[in-house]
Structure 1
């Protein structure tokens, strides 16, 4: 089995248009959630979200590309460019032939769906653009990344609701660790912040109208976000041979299915995923210093996740730091695990644990150290990133300081 390291990271989200900007915002406990700004937002009951501001696609992509790139693809290519530039990796020859891209998204081209439904049903048009299907398909971002960077190995998209990115990164990790690929681009993206995307989530009645307050007793729901996170997962010796700057090591993963309910979380399913990641990485539970929680800010998720942490870590749970950065950037649905992995990298590389902001009242059912409101400087050797999705699909990644 090969060792797997991360040599590049890129992102765009409500906190920043790059990794340094995002990590600075996390360290400062800055909130990227604000009033939404798009067509017909006044018709929505939910009018807040972690929207990416100041992103001008026209200055990044030409007219032909714009006909093919939905907003989620634009975000993905922006994050991938940053990750590859930081990594310094080049894809040619055997490296290009065997390396690939695995990305997660839940909705794919939601904005494209929304625009074209409007055109047909509201405006009465009988034709849509011939590239609507390749623009909205879930694998569009992965395909364009593979074409942009000459990635000819295994390339595909994973769609498992809110665990999509973690499932994608787990599969990329597995491919590099097994020797099937020397490097993989992986992560995820989402852009559901349009009228139809938010209206659909309103129907679930799990959305907050004012703020995301994970673990706080007065929490009242989740807040949607948008953006992307992309990483270069690379075989350790391959990275070392070319003198790459290594951000951290990926050491374990696990996936589980609740097999119970389509929307309600399960303590047992979450516990199996966390315990499985520890077992896969050969990690002593007492050495884990930080967990980036799924932490949606809903009543059901937060207490279930805390119970699962207590179940897996036992007495050590009292010494763990566990925070939800969704309180700052919102819930990126299929892209959320990718952006949240940045907080785990910051914890093990820089010794800074991102806070759970908006925390106001202690909840006895969430009686863990949730790093309320202010970041904390503390050495962290191992960190876990949790993702627990609708459909009862769970994926947990474990990373290590190197």
Structure 2
């Protein structure tokens, strides 16, 4: 090789370029880096945080179950003399409780035949039906940047509207049910629309307005239930409506031996509708834009006030669907002012666990329906206080509200961040003599 073509030699004492220097050769393939970054985003993402939040809540729940169990308390008195008894009692307590939770919510192996064993799953879906509907309404409001905690009022108004049509109006079968459902949807939507209208016109905060409207709806429906000729059953002094007519009741999906009714199909349809609305429609794009930044959306030409009203109308209708399912699905007699069964507030938990995503809310509602169905089994079979299930639900919200805490416990990466690079070893050439 001639001197003109030979590369110039590095001077003595030169320092090699670091690995991350632009002139240095790449040590990793770009595809490998993208794959590594994608895995970090998945592991540390919101879905993983939700799953781990449920896991942590179940672990803390197991500790509480063990602490409140009498055999465990007795075995702890001689822990140092016979520690095996203590651990055996803890295992029996926790495994028995969670086994009862599974058999009360998914499948009961003790019952003969598949048809009898699968009944707990149908109970879970029955409990989940109003939770999913209300969770969709709350989650939709979250996506628009609004906090809808008026589920109780919207459910009560929807239940009163659908219930009145169901027991006071005579219509043919099929049409009667459709009219009752539509009446309930309109009632819930209008009650939620009041919130959106006040926020759009006056700037009133939706939290304050929804709390006040909860009380207005409660006392209004209570008054109607105590007034003959309105909602109160004729000839009765109890604050209760007459029974719903059979033509306005959701039919059974799997026969009279199961409580699951066609209202479950309405929440499946509602989930598909909300998914389409948020991800495939122009109105859903406006919802998401306003939820991200209302000022930027206003500059882009979006009518933010109109979005607030539209979002709360749809949100109130979805929450009202929960009240409709309570009246036309699970109630065989008349209903009272407690028909909401605290579902309006449980829906906030469901929406948070589902990350305000339609299908996430759907599966979160099924999970909480399993807690409700299995909680009674835990209490009956193992003597576990029902409050333990409520504590587990509250802990789920706590861990979901604190993603950094979950990431710190499991040492998960933060999505969007790059892994720490190892310090580059700098080699220095030294010439002899």
Q: Give the TM-score normalised by the residue count of structure 2.
A: 0.22
Q: Decide which structure has greater helix share.
A: 2
- Structure with bigger RCO (C-alpha 8 Å, 6+ apart): 2
Higher radius of gyration, 1 or 2: 2
Q: Give the TM-score normalised by the residue count of structure 1.
A: 0.23
Q: Decide which structure has greater strand share.
A: 1
